[in-house]
Every structure is written in C-alpha cells, then in structure tokens.
C-alpha cells in the first residue's frame, strides 16, 4: 500500500517533464520559384489509358534566405527524390527528402503526396505530408511532420510553401 501512495505523486511529476522535453516548434518557408531544378527525371508511358505516366525524379529546391531557419540554422536546400503515378496529372506519389542546412547538418523526411490537375491545364497542385525520421549534428533526435503545398508543371515551374512541425526526442 505504501508503494502505491509513493509512486502516484512522483509519476504525476514525470508526465509534465516528458511533455516539456518534447516541446513542439513550427516554422514555415516559401521557396522562390527560380530556386528549383530537376536534376534527374525519368518518365515512362504506361499505355493502359491516355496520359498515364510513371515518373522517377530528383528535384533540388533552394532556400537559403537568412530568415529561413530551423533552430537558428539556415535551411540551404532540399533534395527531393520521388516517384509518381499520374493519369492526366492526377494521382499519388512518394518522396524522400534530405533537408541540407547551411552548417552541413541534415534533416531527413519521407512521405506521400497527392497531385491534381489545375484548371489551367498544364500545371498541377501537390499536397505533401512527410514524417521527419531524423537528422544529423544539431538535428539528431528531431521528429515531426512536414506539410507542403506546391504548384508545378513537372518541368521548370515549381512554387512551394513548406511548414515544419517538429520536436526533439530526448
């Protein structure tokens, strides 16, 4: 009986300390349209219905604004490697992202995106959600979610807004 009375007050103190150790942070950035470049892209026509394409790509998205920081470190660029399965610019994709910081540290994330064709005809909108799986250097132990909205033509135009919601595991 004594152990129960002793454990309850100390257990109640431990819960707020765990929550405090995982304090959430939110930052958001716009990437300039001119700062995006497809470094590799392979497209396969599936042939079952018109405009059904499988795509494998690598996109480098430059950030680098001095006000675009995570934990005080400037976000330099994102290297996005992904696949998509689109029919007439509508469909799903998967991406793996390496966020490169100005000091050489990295943040890694992976997840899925949904693409749909815009009424303008040659552009699509991607809604992306990624799980932050870890990082290096100052970002070791980082976890969280990245949400992004992108307007793209899959060639050169790529306008992006990214939001990071993150915490550090202790």
pLDDT digits (tens, 9 = 90+) for 111-161: 999 999 999 878 899 999 999 999 999 999 999 999 999 998 867 778 889
Q: What is the largest CA-CA distance in the chain?
A: 74
Q: How many residues does the chain have?
A: 170
Rounded Cα distance between 63 and 71, Å, is 15
Is the overall model pTM greater than 0.75, yes or no? yes
The total number of structural domains in the chain stands at 1
User: Which has the closest alpha carbon to 114: 144, 84, 88?
Assistant: 84
Task: Supply the range of the domain harboring residue 141.
Answer: 23-168
Residue 56: CATH number of its domain:
2.40.350.10
Tell whether 45 is covered by a domain: yes
Segment 52-99, tens digit of pLDDT: 999 999 999 998 688 899 999 999 999 999 999 999 999 999 999 999
Three-state secondary-structure class, residue 69:
strand
């Amino acid at each position: 009986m004594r152990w129960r009375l002793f454990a309850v007050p100390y257990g109640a103190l431990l819960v707020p300390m765990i929550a405090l150790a995982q304090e959430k942070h939110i930052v958001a950035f716009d990437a300039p349209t001119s700062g995006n470049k497809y470094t590799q892209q392979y497209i396969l026509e599936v042939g079952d219905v018109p405009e059904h394409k499988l795509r494998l790509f690598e996109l480098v998205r430059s950030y680098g604004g001095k006000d675009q920081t995570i934990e005080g470190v400037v976000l330099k660029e994102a290297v996005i490697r992904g696949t998509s399965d689109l029919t007439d610019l509508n469909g799903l994709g998967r991406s793996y992202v390496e966020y490169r910081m100005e000091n050489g540290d990295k943040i890694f994330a992976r997840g899925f995106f949904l693409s749909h064709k815009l009424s303008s005809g040659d552009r699509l909108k991607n809604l992306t959600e990624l799980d932050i799986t870890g990082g290096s250097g100052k970002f070791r132990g980082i976890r969280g979610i990245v949400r992004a909205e992108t307007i793209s033509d899959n060639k050169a135009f790529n306008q992006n807004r990214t939001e990071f919601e993150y915490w550090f595991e202790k």
